Amino acid sequence: MFFTYVLFSKKLNKRYVGSTANLTKRLNEHNSGKSKFTKGGIPWTLVYSEQFETNSYARKRELFLKSGAGRKFLDSIIITSTESSSEGPRRTLLEEPLWENLSPL
């Protein structure tokens, strides 16, 4: 099985989208600093994942989630807090992470 996943860093207030064959191992790599891009955002929290039969489907979904329409979809599962800072409103995760497994596109 292959996965497309979304991580969120409260430290950076950013999300990261990726795909992998081993979700647990990949999350551990992100949180141990082995990924250059995500090293500065530790700890990362898994907030969304989808499971696919093939790596090709997982990669296609990853690319979609990185597109404008995909970012809009991801924005729909993240809420904006009423708290604000000098940087503007803060985006925070839904209370319960979504663990949906959607069918391949």
Domain 2-93 has CATH 1.10.600: no
Looking at residue 79, what is its pLDDT?
A: 55
Q: Retrieve residue 40's tokens.
A: 């500065």
Residues of the chain with pLDDT under 50: 80-85, 88-105
Whether the model pTM is above 0.85:
no
pLDDT digits (tens, 9 = 90+) for 45-68: 998 899 999 999 999 999 999 999
Half-sphere exposure of 81 (CA within 13 A, CB side): 14
Burial class (CB in 10 A: 0-12, 13-18, 19+), 16: middle
Query: Could you tell me where the DSSP H helices lie in 1-105?
Result: 23-31, 55-65, 68-75
Distance of alpha carbon 41 from alpha carbon 71, whole angstroms: 19
Q: Retrieve residue 59's tokens.
A: 């990669």
**Hey, where are the domains in the chain?**
2-93
